């Protein structure tokens, strides 16, 4: 299952909190880019993360990441999406 996670912290980037967030998400197996047609790699918008082969669903990721991200910022917003396909413009 493909997973997208979007996080918004209460501080504006760049901040120490976002550096910690990026490190946490890398440790959890997420990247800041998305594979596209023709082998192209597309960078995602700020604080958006992608994982291509997850055994966890959106609710499980929410429950797993929620407390970890809360330790970085109490006033965070987290959106987890199970992705089937995608299309974009100007990426």
CATH number of the domain at 6, please: 3.30.70.2360
Does residue 90 sit within a domain? no
If the chain, 91 residues long, is cut into consecutive pieces of 10 residues, what is the mean pLDDT of each piece?
95 84 97 90 94 96 96 94 85 68
Query: Which range marks the domain in which residue 58 is found?
Result: 2-83
Does residue 16 sit within a domain? yes
Q: Judge contact between 13 and 62, C-beta under 8 A.
A: no
Neighbour-count burial of 82, counting CB atoms closer than 10 A to its CB (0-12 exposed, 13-18 middle, 19+ buried): middle
Does residue 58 sit within a domain? yes
pTM of this structure = 0.89
How high is the pLDDT of residue 6? 97
How high is the pLDDT of residue 78? 96
Does residue 33 sit within a domain? yes
Neighbour-count burial of 71, counting CB atoms closer than 10 A to its CB (0-12 exposed, 13-18 middle, 19+ buried): exposed
Does residue 88 sit within a domain? no
How high is the pLDDT of residue 89? 74
How high is the pLDDT of residue 85? 86
Angle at 61 between CA 51 and CA 76, to 5 degrees: 100
Does residue 6 sit within a domain? yes
Total domains in the fold of the chain: 1
């Amino acid at each position: 299952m493909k997973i997208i996670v979007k996080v918004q912290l209460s501080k504006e980037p760049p901040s120490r909190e976002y550096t910690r967030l990026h490190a946490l998400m890398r440790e959890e197996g997420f990247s800041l880019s998305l594979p596209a047609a023709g082998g192209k790699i597309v960078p995602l918008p700020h604080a958006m993360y992608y994982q291509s082969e997850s055994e966890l669903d959106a609710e499980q990721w929410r429950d797993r990441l929620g407390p970890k991200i809360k330790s970085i910022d109490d006033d965070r917003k987290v959106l987890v999406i199970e992705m089937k396909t995608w299309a974009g413009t100007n990426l």
